[in-house]
Amino acid sequence: MIYLDHNSTTNLLEEAKNAMLLALAKPFNPSAIHGLGREGKKIIEQARKQVAGLSGIINHFRDYYITFTSSGTEANNLIISNFNNGEVFVSAIEHASILAHVKFGNNIQIISVDENGMVNPEDLKEKLSKSAAEKKLVSIIFANNETGVIQDIKQITKIAHDFGALVHSDCVQAFGKIPVDLVDLDLDFATISAHKIGGPVGSGALISKAIHHLVPHIIGGGQEKGLRSGTENVAATAGFGVAAEIANRELESRYNHLKGLRDYLEKEIAKIFPKIKIVNQQSERLPNTSLIINLGKKSETQIIAFDLKNIAISSGAACSSGKIGSSKTLEAMGFSEEERDSAIRISLGYTTTKQDIDKFLRIYREINS
């Protein structure tokens, strides 16, 4: 099968798998004080430094906490839950693990985006200026999982800090694809995930400035500096660390590889079907992501047609239990229902080849003829 759904999950790196197998070979419990416990603890701490290297904080390691979690979703829930007694400001194009909190509380305000999916800074300023809350959090996704559009996080952080708010960014899609320097961005909190960069499913992290004291929502033995109790998943964390180290080393070459393939894909599609729309084609985007609108062709129909030809793609809103729903991101950007219902997402990975793209293009022509 040709796999073009890497924003969902990418291939596990062989080096990451080998690190996990070594960790699985022994009964590691990093909380134990005997030799095997210390060995397990060493693996966890090595992974923390490997993740720090890809996050731009390795030279400021003592100023940040890296709390390993079971996923990016858990990390997002951890940070949002810490502001249940404050006020939270999120964009209209956040991942569901952020945006769905609107259903469960009345302390969350939505910041609008423009037709390019960029956060409206004036709307953010206006809402923050009217807030009387002592605790305020602004949470803005770094790079959108559907369109790939990259936000001006540095500008958003400055605005939020000027109004006394702390800032979190869901960096899951950006991490390992473009430079993410948390020190330069001045982010207070950031969420990352292993399985988007060649690590295993089931490992994520919340990175926090050490000056901020958070309250855990998983209580127990006090692991991860008391912020995330439960025996550490040494194998998954080891795989995460190795994947982060490789992504850091290959960041530029991966970017150039992915962007070259994405641009080729979009150029060739335009030749075949001039009326097809590539969402945000002129915007700053992730190098691997294309969201394609082909009016009159339902997303679900296209996905099934490709699947029957052994090509895996997704719709723009394929992130909840296999459902295909109308994209909230495209709705917030002002796209019509017909446009939203015809969007498919092509997301490339480090294993994608030009031959894969050529086959996709051939099948695309066939199913649209």
Phi, psi (degrees; rounded to nearest 5) at 256: -65, -40
CA distance 343 to 340: 6
CA distance 361 to 48: 41
In sequence order, the 6+-apart residues with CB closer than 8 A to the CB of 119 are 91, 111, 112, 113, 140, 151, 152, 156
171 is a catalytic site residue:
no
CA distance 137 to 127: 12
Do strands 136-139 and 108-111 pair parallel, antiparallel, or not at all (unpaired)?
unpaired
In sequence order, the 6+-apart residues with CB closer than 8 A to the CB of 137 are 79, 80, 82, 83, 86, 87, 88, 89, 165, 166, 167, 168
Give me the catalytic one of 98, 153, 319, 346: 319
Joined tokens for residue 115: 């037709």
* Residue 288 C-beta-side C-alpha neighbours within 13 Å: 33
Q: Which residues pair with 169 in a beta bridge?
A: 190
The residues annotated with a catalytic role in the active site are: 319
